[in-house]
Amino acid sequence: MTFFAPPREHFFRPLTHDNRELCAAVLRALHERVHGANADYAEVLTRELVMEAIQQVLASPELRGLAFEAGQTVRAEEERTYASDLLRKLKDHGWLEDYRDPIDLRPTLKLSRAGKAFSETFANLDDSRAKTRQRNMRSARKALVAFIATRDADELLDAHEFASRVVQDLQDDIEYFRHLIQSLTREALAQQVAWNEFNDFIEKRFAREYAVRLVADSAERHRGQINEVLEDVRALDGDQRAGLDAHLLQRAPWLEQTAQGRSPMLWLADRIGSMVDAACSLKLPMLRSEMNNYVRRFTSLLRQALSLDYGAESPLGRTMAWLKEQPEHAREGLLDALARRLATAEIRLPGGVLRWTVRDRESEAVAQAPLVVDETSRLNALLRRAEAEAFAFSDQQVLQGLLPHLQGGPITLAALPVDSAEDAVRVLHAVGAARTAEGRRLIQARKMTGQVSNTYFQADDYELRVELQDGMDVTSSRAGGADRRH
């Protein structure tokens, strides 16, 4: 495909003039009107609607200054002439194209394929546009739930597509905070502190969007729900898996080469889980770090501004400018007068307002008794260490304790022996150990309808069995989904 071919030979020319910001705003407004969330799809894009959109953009004082000289009285006819010229440029260079309504054959306009793509980019770059929180996280979860309910291969493919966008969602937020930090740096070099912009961010974007996204609507919560549904996907029996694999290969032939001999359904499930885990374990900490860097950078600049009170318009700045303009003998006289006034000043710490006690630094250090290690202290240290390690088990230790019980076949958590508190802790963490990378190769966990209850805890019951498939990852479990009530 040759992009720069007629009529797109000079596609970007409208964006190279002095009024390029106005042109970008017009394209953004056209995309919102035709393809945005509030678009009226029953309305066709006519010449008058495009002219109206351009005139609405011209109503902005900032953008109006790009088209007309400041302070100039502009008649309505001049505005319409300017809008007509801009419309002609957009048509000549391939952003808009003529289109005839197939119903009444009325001549209309529409965004060209390239014009729609680039105007959508301009619209997405506008940070003021409202975006649904964790939209792709929720979409991936809903698609997985629909796949379990209907066994539709397209739902699993949709879940994979939504999961692939999860990392990009967080990356967009990271880039947004990096842009804010760069803006702060530029404003600091210009000796300005954008307090209004910071206050607007805290009150609007952070309080209404990011605070909810990091707590109630956090990616971690969605990851737990997605992992629960992925367990049900991996738990499908062999016959269902074979039929779904055939449908997946029919819908997405690229899976045959990508899966490399594995089950396409299991490959998609593992890929969805890995992308969601990467978003939560890598990108989410980066987002928190960038937010912290932005707040720290702003507070640092604000502290410097308040302490230095820099700027030519400040009292100190005006005084120094006046002193600089005076002749040398006048400057010397003023400085001598200031020196005589300051000569009687005494500098000392106001002890009455101190929050700490001033101590004598030359006080002698108190002699400490020699360290004595006797049998009692060693015994106490050993007991404290034993208490700390009594219920600390690694996933490998839990798996080693489970495998002997699985030699006779599948077993439920309720059937595992709980003769001591140590056994109870192992049973409580059995499903979590099966979720690890090593556990998926050894044990398959499947949720049961009942619950396991003993004197130590109550939780959802699971059936554990040894996974015998060759070279294939097995069912992971839902440790985080168990409703444990100690």
Does one domain contain both 115 and 190? no
Q: For residue 406, give the nearest of 395, 418, 415 by alpha carbon.
A: 415
- Domain final residue pick, 308, 324, 346: 308
- CATH number for the domain that contains residue 100: 1.10.10.10
- Helices 166-189 and 284-308 sit at what angle, rounded to 10 degrees? 10
Considering the domain architecture, whether residues 105 and 162 belong to the same structural domain is answered as: no
pLDDT value for 478: 37
169 located within any domain: yes
Residue 298 domain-assigned? yes
Tell whether 322 is covered by a domain: no
The Cα 229–Cα 142 span in angstroms is: 10
**Same-domain check for residues 238 and 301:** yes
Are residues 152 and 271 located together in one domain of the fold?
A: yes
In a domain, 373, yes or no: no
Question: With 60 as the cut, is the pLDDT of residue 44 above it?
Answer: yes
**Are the beta carbons of 272 and 226 closer than 8 angstroms?**
yes
Q: Is the pLDDT of residue 17 over 60?
A: yes
In a domain, 35, yes or no: yes
Q: Which two tokens stand for residue 331?
A: 């400057």
Longest CA–CA separation in the chain, Å: 104
| Among candidate residues 124, 151, 180, the one where a domain is terminated | 124
- Are 294 and 443 contained in the same domain? no
Instruction: Say yes or no: 54 and 154 in one domain.
Output: no
Q: Is residue 357 in some structural domain?
A: no
Report yes or no: 452 and 414 within 8 Å, Cβ to Cβ. Answer: yes
Per-residue pLDDT reduced to its tens digit, 231-244: 888 888 888 889 99
Residue 476 pLDDT > 50, yes or no? Answer: no
Tell me: do 151 and 285 sit in the same domain.
yes
Instruction: Tell me what the mean pLDDT of segment 448-464 comes to.
Output: 85
Q: What pLDDT sits at residue 128? A: 52
pLDDT at 205: 60
Q: What is the pLDDT of residue 216?
A: 45
In a domain, 165, yes or no: yes
67: Cβ–Cβ under 8 A, 6 or more apart, which residues?
19, 22, 58, 82
Asked, as a colleague might, if the bond just before 7 is cis with ω within 30 of 0, I would say yes
Domain that holds residue 235: 135-308
The pLDDT of residue 359 is: 52
- What is the tens place of the pLDDT at every residue in 96-155? 998 876 666 778 888 899 988 998 888 877 655 555 456 788 889 899 999 999 999 999
Boundary-marking domain end, from 308, 331, 356:
308
| 72 and 184 together in one domain | no
Mean pLDDT of 52-60: 89
pLDDT, greater one: 74 or 232: 232
Is 436 in the same domain as 292? no
Give me the percent of the chain exceeding a pLDDT of 70. 77
Pair (79, 221) in one structural domain: no
Which is more confident, 394 or 476?
394
Q: How many domains does the chain have?
A: 3
pLDDT of amino acid 484: 38
Residues 164 and 280 in one domain: yes
Q: Over 80: is that where the pLDDT of 480 sits? A: no
Proportion of the chain above pLDDT 90, given as a percent? 12
CA–CA separation, 289 vs 293, rounded Å?
Answer: 6
User: Is 54 within the bounds of a domain?
Assistant: yes
Per-residue confidence (pLDDT) for residue 154, from 0 to 100: 93
What's the confidence (pLDDT) of residue 318? 76
Q: Answer whether residue 485 shows pLDDT above 50.
A: no
Q: Are residues 265 and 289 in the same domain?
A: yes
